[in-house]
Amino acid sequence: MKRTFAIILSACMLFALLSCDFDSLLDETTTKEKAVSETTAEETTTAEETTKKAPQNNKNVTIEEQVLIDHAGFKVTAKSFEDGLLGPNIKILIENNTDKNISLISLDTMVNDYMINGSLSRDIAAGKTANDIISFKNTDLKEAGINAIGKFELYLHIYETASFDNIYTSDCITIKTSIFDDIEIVKQNNGEEFLNKEGLSIFGYYSEKDSYFGKSIELFFDNNTNENINVRIKDFSINGYMVSIPRIFHVEEGKMAVNEIAIISAYLEDNNITKIDKIEFKFEVLSYETWLTLFESDVITINVD
């Protein structure tokens, strides 16, 4: 219920010496060649083993069928995994054996311990069944450095379609894939350390090429606190001019996230800024459940060359 309450309030990873005669030199050379050969063979074997332990894509990945929700006549079953054109999908079967029209949505979704948006929204009439998918985008996975999926984690929520009355919110559901044991989680902690406090680390850097908007601050969050958090951008300024950034980043306990603060052209045009010299801001960290402030960062300054 706490998660439902929070939903309402917010309604979001690296390398003797030369002497003696010709025969001894030849022996030494032969020995070195043998050593190099053995080392090369050893490295080749290691590389092959690493490849086996670190799949590079989702080809031939499967999941076992499992029930995700079974609540008061409403049931959701994960049937299979598919690597779609735009990204991976979890194929699901939805069975509404109640007398109410019910809507099903996905809330927080995670892939390989990264917060990755998974899309699901479906209305199911009373007594009806539907096939659907929980879809993920390759672009989001790429930003987090995810090439192959070891596990999904998600929360599902159901409510009455007409009244919007809450019916049920699941606990965190884990779906492991057939390559779960072969996946190594990599932290995308690139750039400068902006914050390291009470278990929360935030790294980032200014970029003028990766963002859709052209200019951005790329961010990496690593939440090792003991609770789910929201991170709000506060007192953001460009060249001393205040700019409102209406972004809130949500990171579950023990999870990571890759995101960005987009610097859109309107921010610059409204303040007659033709060149960005300095950006300043703070992070305000809030409890996801209560929205109370837990702590703030010091002022973060980015000097743009």
Chosen domain end from 153, 182, 211? 182
- In whole angstroms, give the CA distance from residue 240 to residue 279: 8
List CB contacts of 264: < 8 A, sequence separation 6 or more: 213
- In whole angstroms, give the CA distance from residue 202 to residue 226: 16
Q: Are residues 72 and 176 in the same domain?
A: yes
- In whole angstroms, give the CA distance from residue 49 to residue 197: 38
Are 66 and 79 contacting, i.e. CB atoms less than 8 angstroms apart? no
Q: Are residues 73 and 177 in the same domain?
A: yes
Q: Are residues 77 and 147 in the same domain?
A: yes
CB-side neighbour CA atoms (13 Å) of 61: 27
The H-assigned helical ranges of 205-295 are 265-269
Nearest to 106 by CA among 142, 66, 72, 152: 152
Q: Are residues 169 and 198 in the same domain?
A: no
> What percent of the chain stands above pLDDT 90?
75
Q: Diameter of the chain by CA atoms?
A: 96
Q: Are residues 176 and 209 in the same domain?
A: no
Q: What is the pLDDT of residues 273-287, one digit of tens each?
A: 999 999 999 999 999
CATH of the domain at 210: 2.60.40
Are 93 and 79 contacting, i.e. CB atoms less than 8 angstroms apart? yes
Q: Are residues 249 and 147 in the same domain?
A: no
144-148, 214-218, 272-276, 287-291: which range is least confident on average? 214-218
CB atoms within 10 A of CB 113: 21
State the total domains in the chain: 2
4 pLDDT higher than 60? no
Q: So what's the pLDDT on residue 2?
A: 52
Q: Are residues 157 and 136 in the same domain?
A: yes
Residue 209 binned pLDDT confidence (cut-offs 50, 70, 90): confident
Q: Are residues 227 and 125 in the same domain?
A: no
Q: So what's the pLDDT on residue 18?
A: 35
CATH of the domain at 159: 2.60.40.2550
List CB contacts of 184: < 8 A, sequence separation 6 or more: 53, 54
- Is the residue at 57 inside a domain? no
Q: So what's the pLDDT on residue 45?
A: 43
19-23, 97-101, 148-152, 258-262: which range is least confident on average? 19-23
- Is the residue at 79 inside a domain? yes
Q: So what's the pLDDT on residue 23?
A: 44
Are 63 and 117 contacting, i.e. CB atoms less than 8 angstroms apart? no
244 pLDDT higher than 80? yes
- In whole angstroms, give the CA distance from residue 222 to residue 278: 25
The residue segments making up the domain with residue 206 are 192-303
- pTM value? 0.81
Q: So what's the pLDDT on residue 166?
A: 98
Q: Are residues 161 and 262 in the same domain?
A: no
Q: What is the pLDDT of residues 92-143, one digit of tens each?
A: 999 999 999 999 999 999 999 999 999 999 999 999 999 999 999 999 999 9
Nearest to 122 by CA among 114, 130, 110, 113: 130
- Is the residue at 278 inside a domain? yes
Residue 59 binned pLDDT confidence (cut-offs 50, 70, 90): confident
15 pLDDT higher than 70? no
Residue 3 Cα distances to 87, 125, 128, 144, angstroms: 27, 25, 28, 25
What's the one-letter identity of residue 202? Answer: I
Q: Are residues 104 and 162 in the same domain?
A: yes
Task: Work out whether strand 151-160 and strand 166-169 pair parallel, antiparallel, or are unpaired.
Answer: antiparallel
Chosen domain end from 164, 182, 200? 182
Chosen domain end from 157, 182, 207? 182
- In whole angstroms, give the CA distance from residue 2 to residue 22: 81
Q: Are residues 243 and 210 in the same domain?
A: yes
CA 235-288-75 angle, 5° bins: 140
CB atoms within 10 A of CB 133: 18
SS (H, E, C) 35-61: HHHHHHHHHHHHHHHHHHHCCCCCCCC
Q: Are residues 76 and 106 in the same domain?
A: yes
Q: So what's the pLDDT on residue 57?
A: 86
Are 105 and 124 contacting, i.e. CB atoms less than 8 angstroms apart? no
Q: What is the pLDDT of residues 152-208, one digit of tens each?
A: 999 999 999 999 999 999 999 999 999 999 999 989 999 999 999 999 999 999 998
More confident site: 250 or 42: 250
Residue 89 Cα distances to 76, 117, 139, 140, angstroms: 15, 12, 14, 13
- Is the residue at 97 inside a domain? yes
- Is the residue at 7 inside a domain? no
Q: So what's the pLDDT on residue 32?
A: 43
- Is the residue at 251 inside a domain? yes
CB atoms within 10 A of CB 304: 13
